[in-house]
């Protein structure tokens, strides 16, 4: 498995050292895959492959598995509460939409209050755009109800 560039583990599980786990890990590294587990099971078919053949077989199997896998990116979200006067509704909604934010709750009283989930990669730029557009009238409370992933 490979969690991040510094957190990984592999095993040859009885095969000669470096012939199974390392080629699989190299395939994960080659494709820059993180938070990924790849398991290869080999059944002996009566032909001895030698260490080079084993390494190629495990590596090729890992490459083919990755090529046929449907990969799903993981997006982490921060939860905010955004409070603003009604005249900023269109502006705020436009910026939220551009940032792929998800509105989870809306409250309308003297001001509009939205609880939103923002992709973490978009959080800082969005905050800056909202602060500029709102001239101090758009309030942002971060980390509402913790973070979601």
pTM value is 0.59
CB contact at 8 A, 119 and 77: yes
43: domain CATH number is 3.30.230.30
pLDDT digits (tens, 9 = 90+) for 70-102: 988 888 999 999 999 999 999 999 999 999 999
Q: Say yes or no: 104 and 47 in one domain.
A: no
36 lies in some domain: yes
Among 17, 33, 68, identify where a domain stops: 68
Among 68, 89, 112, identify where a domain stops: 68
pLDDT digits (tens, 9 = 90+) for 90-135: 999 999 999 999 999 999 999 999 999 999 999 999 999 999 999 8
Parallel, antiparallel, or unpaired for β 77-84 and 112-119?
antiparallel
Q: Say yes or no: 56 and 110 in one domain.
A: no
102: domain CATH number is 3.30.70.240
Rounded CA separation 24/51 (Å)? 14
The range of the structural domain enclosing residue 112 comes to: 77-141
146 lies in some domain: no
Q: Say yes or no: 43 and 61 in one domain.
A: yes
147 lies in some domain: no
């Amino acid at each position: 498995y490979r969690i991040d560039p510094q957190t990984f583990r592999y095993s040859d599980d009885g095969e000669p050292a470096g012939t199974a786990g390392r080629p699989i890990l190299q395939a994960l590294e080659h494709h820059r895959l993180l938070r990924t587990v790849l398991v290869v099971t080999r059944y002996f078919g009566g032909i001895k492959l030698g260490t080079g053949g084993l390494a190629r077989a495990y590596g090729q199997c890992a490459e083919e598995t990755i090529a046929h896998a449907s990969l799903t990116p993981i997006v982490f979200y921060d939860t905010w509460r955004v409070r603003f006067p009604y005249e900023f509704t269109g502006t705020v909604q436009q910026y939220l939409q551009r940032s792929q934010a998800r509105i989870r709750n809306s409250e309308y009283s003297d001001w509009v209050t939205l609880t939103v989930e923002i992709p973490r990669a978009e959080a800082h730029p969005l905050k800056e755009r909202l602060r500029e557009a709102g001239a101090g009238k758009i309030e942002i409370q971060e980390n509402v109800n913790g973070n979601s992933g």
